[in-house]
């Protein structure tokens, strides 16, 4: 396998890991961003309305994760074709 394929694969794996963290480990990302959810019901603010950052992190995280998987997979498949 060439160095170019390995670099793109590592980049894709890093994107997939970052996207997974954004989508499914939101507490970690919120601490990094400094936007803790605070007390109250999970997924809701103390005022009762939903926290929009939850949905932003879910959607963006899944999109980044899938992009990383696809870019790494396609590069590897085209290399072996």
pLDDT of 18 higher than 50: yes
Residue 67 near residue 11, CB atoms below 8 Å? no
Is the pLDDT higher at 47 or at 61? 61
Q: Which of 67, 76, 65 is nearest to 25 (CA)?
A: 65
Question: What average pLDDT is seen over the chain?
Answer: 87
Q: Where are the beta strands (DSSP E) in the chain?
A: none
Q: How far is Cα 28 from Cα 76, in angstroms, rounded to an integer?
A: 31
Tens digits of per-residue pLDDT, 29-47?
A: 998 888 876 544 455 556 5
Q: Using 50, 70 and 90 to split pLDDT, how confident is the model at 65?
A: very high
- The tokens for 60 are 């963006």
Q: What is the pLDDT of residue 40?
A: 44
Q: What is the 3-state secondary structure (H, E, C) of 16-39?
A: HHHHHHHHHCHHHHHHHHCCCCCC
pTM for the complete prediction? 0.79
Q: What is the pLDDT of residue 39?
A: 45
């Amino acid at each position: 396998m060439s160095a170019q394929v390995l670099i793109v694969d590592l980049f894709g794996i890093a994107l997939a890991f970052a996207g997974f963290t954004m989508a499914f480990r939101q507490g970690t990302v919120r601490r990094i961003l400094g936007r803790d959810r605070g007390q109250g019901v999970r997924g809701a603010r103390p005022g009762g309305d939903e926290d929009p950052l939850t949905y932003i992190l879910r959607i963006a995280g899944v999109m980044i994760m899938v992009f990383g998987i696809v870019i790494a997979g396609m590069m590897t498949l085209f290399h072996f074709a």
